[in-house]
Amino acid sequence: MGEADQNERQRKRVSKLCRQSAKINWIEKAAAITAAFFVWGICAKLLDQKILLAGPWDVLGVLSTLIGQGFFWQTISFSLLRIALGLVLGIALGCVLAILAGLHHTVEVLLWPYVSVIKATPVASVIVLCLVWFSSSTISILISFLIVFPIVYTNVLSAIRNLDPQMEEMADVFALGFWERLLYIRLPQLESYFLAALQLSCGMAWKAGIAAEVIGIPARSIGRQLYDAKLYLATPELFAWTFVLVCLSVLFEKAILQFAKWLFALPGRSLR
């Protein structure tokens, strides 16, 4: 056990050193955010034109009014649910088709034109095209799906292509069953690719989904609120909704990533 303890201590020491050198801790983050607010406040004060640059206090004032209103939460739920639905559909279909493409080269060839077109087409063109075909209330689902799908598909397919053949050889020699191979050999190898895709997808889905709402202006959506704020030159509202969007995007990404990490850790946890 001494050897294991020593090994564990060494691992912790190295990971602590890596953390110290690579990551920004929460105190540093809080200080940086405070400084950014301070700079923002000074700029707004110097410019002194709310219509061009609303200050942090103006935005906080608008936010405190919005939070107390029912429509604020309805608006957030509308956009959040639709973007989340698009994200989930994109992840599910991206994974399923990547697995099929990884197993059968013909599927990969047949999907190649669709994936290439989706990847290459500018989001604005897709939004306008989708508005021709579908109602504006479903636009954010479609757009977030179309943004997420190629990212997840490409990453999961790369992961499948890069599965370690030596581990497969080991599984063959010891006649491992399907579930053992999947849970303990293949999934751990897919994890880093999938999490990278997920991290990228979450941010992109929010940006594209809201952009679609701004163009499609469905009722009771965040995009509609941004559009209206711009239309009536209500800059503090515009900033307040943008602030809400940034917070939602960060929380959404963190929640999804934590859930995915928890899912990937399940097989290992069940063994101990």
Binding site for other proteins (CB under 8 A): 1, 3-4, 6-8, 11, 166-167, 169-170, 172-177, 180, 184-185, 188, 265, 267-268, 271-272
The burial of 55, by beta-carbon neighbours within 10 Å (0-12 exposed, 13-18 middle, 19 or more buried), is given as buried
b vs e for 59-80, b when ≥16 Cβ sit within 10 Å of the residue's Cβ?
A: beebbeebeeeeebeebbebbb
One-letter identity of residue 23:
K
Choose between 27 and 175: whose C-beta lies nearer to other proteins. Answer: 175
Q: From the CA atom positions of the chain, what is the Rg in Å?
A: 23
Q: Which is nearer to other proteins, 26 or 179 (CB)?
A: 179
Select 187 or 248, whichever has its Cβ closest to other proteins.
187
CB of 191 to other proteins, least distance (A): 9
In angstroms, give the least distance from the CB of 202 to other proteins. 25
- Please answer whether residues 48 and 194 qualify as being in contact, where contact means their C-beta atoms are separated by less than 8 angstroms: no
Query: Smallest distance from the beta carbon of 176 to other proteins, in angstroms?
Result: 6
C-beta neighbour count of 201 within 10 angstroms: 25
- CA atoms of 49 and 38, how far apart (whole Å): 17
Closest separation in Å from C-beta 62 to other proteins: 48
Is there a contact between 209 and 197 (Cβ–Cβ < 8 Å)? no
- The residues, any chain, with a CB within 8 Å of residue 191's CB and separated by 6 or more, are 264
- Cα 66 from Cα 56, distance rounded (Å): 15
Smaller CB distance to other proteins: residue 180 or 228? 180
How far is residue 87's CA from residue 206's CA, in Å, rounded to a whole number?
9
Smallest distance, Å, CB 163 to other proteins?
13
**Least Å from the CB of residue 178 to other proteins:** 11
Q: Which is nearer to other proteins, 1 or 27 (CB)?
A: 1
As measured in angstroms, the least distance from the Cβ of 91 to other proteins is 22
Select 1 or 22, whichever has its Cβ closest to other proteins: 1
Report the residue number, 128 or 170, with the smaller CB distance to other proteins: 170
Contact 149, 93 (CB under 8 A): yes
List phi, psi (to 5°) of 232: -95, 15
